[in-house]
Amino acid sequence: MSSNETRIDLAKFSFLRYMSRDGNLMRLVLITAAIFALMSILSPDRFLTFDNFDSMAYQFPEFGILSLAMMITMLTGGIDLSIVGIANLSGVFAALMMLHTIPDGASTSQILTGIMAAVLLAMATGAGCGFINGLLIAKINIPPILATLGTMQFFTGIAIVVTKGYAIFGLPDQFSFIGNEAIGIFPVPFLIFAAFAWLFSLLLNKTGYGTKLYMMGTNATAAKFSGINNTMMLVKTYMLSGLVAALAGLVIVARTNSAKADYGTSYTLQAILIAVMGGVNPNGGFGTIAGIVLAVLTLQFLSSGFNMLGFSNFFKDFIWGAVLIFIMVVNFIFNNRRAKRRK
């Protein structure tokens, strides 16, 4: 057997061993493949086209990035319901910054400087919002679901007051590159999501922060006695979640070439659904980037298929809710069986 064949066999063995260790991931692969096959059969002329895959690659990165922001807070045993509010508030501030710093007839360098300032302002806004969430949860001990429910309304309210409820238009064409252009055959939003997924995989699996995050989510008391500062970890995690949500907001603004206080209101439920479907334990301590990516693809295949089959948006909301409940029940049953086998 040649060395190349040996490496391929080892790669297959490692992949199968990795999949077999995570039953949820294996189920998710089968579900994704089944939904892809079903939609391909039901609407082969429209689903299996380059235009459809190209369209999906522009759509799913927005809620895919928000799902990563949701995931890291759920790994702590918490949740962040304010990610969409943070995304919209950051997008509104970024749009206003561009409108006020880039004059008519500005040179390319002035436009790029204005865009860079807007991106930095959005990132600072997201991190600041996350810092508020972290303080409310880690220092004042408000349950995450209540703290972020309150800040969701607070951040959205600020955006509504600032914009008076209107959308902000007239952004530079150069900014729309982020949301509407492609590099080669790959849309820029898709590349941004892929980069974030890769960075989060490194962060969670190759850094001390990731190890501490999983430890704290598994057992906060044990983590504390092992020397981990849980308060700082929570603040950092919610700041990171806010930062990522802000970058998702920039992608939304770039794709729509406008900013508004109530864009993407359904993304909160979808981000939770993706995280749970992807195998993230709502009680904290477990979750993989591979699961999140597969769940994002599954939801996008379903969404595109429903559009082609003529389902209304109301029916899709019903389906998202039903799928979320179903996945939680299935995970509960499998986790209980696994726990009994270990006893």
Distance CA 123, CA 118 (A): 9
Maximum alpha-carbon separation in the chain: 72
Among candidates 218, 48, 245, 226, which has minimal Cα distance to 151? 245
Pairwise CA distance, residues 47 & 41, whole Å = 9
Spatial separation of the C-alpha atoms in residues 317 and 193, rounded to whole Å: 24
- When pLDDT is averaged across residues 63-87 and rounded to a whole number, the result is 95
Q: How far is CA 232 from the centre of its chain?
A: 23
In the block, tokens 């892929």 appear at: 194
Cα distance between residue 340 and residue 328, in whole Å: 18
**Phi, psi angles (nearest 5°) of residue 186:** -100, 120
> Tokens 């150069």, residue?
174
Given a contact cutoff of 8 angstroms between Cβ atoms, the answer to whether 117 and 325 are in contact is: no
Are 189 and 58 in contact, with CB atoms under 8 Å apart? yes
Q: Where do we find the tokens 């990610």?
A: 83
Mean pLDDT of 285-305: 89
- Residue 33 identity: A
Alpha carbon 1 to chain centroid distance?
43
Residue 94 and residue 101: Cα distance in Å, rounded? 11
- The answer to whether residue 339 scores a pLDDT higher than 80 is no
User: Which residues, in sequence order, are CB contacts of 37 under 8 Å at separation 6+?
Assistant: none
The b-or-e profile of 9-26 (16+ CB within 10 A means b, else e) is: eeeeeeeeeeeeebebbe
Query: What share of the chain in percent tops pLDDT 90?
Result: 53
Average pLDDT of the residues in 222-251: 94
- Domains in the chain (CATH in brackets) are 55-331 (1.10.3470)
* Per-residue pLDDT at 18 exceeds 90: no
- Could you tell me which residue, 11 or 66, shows the higher pLDDT? 66
Q: Where is pLDDT greater, at 276 or 91?
A: 91
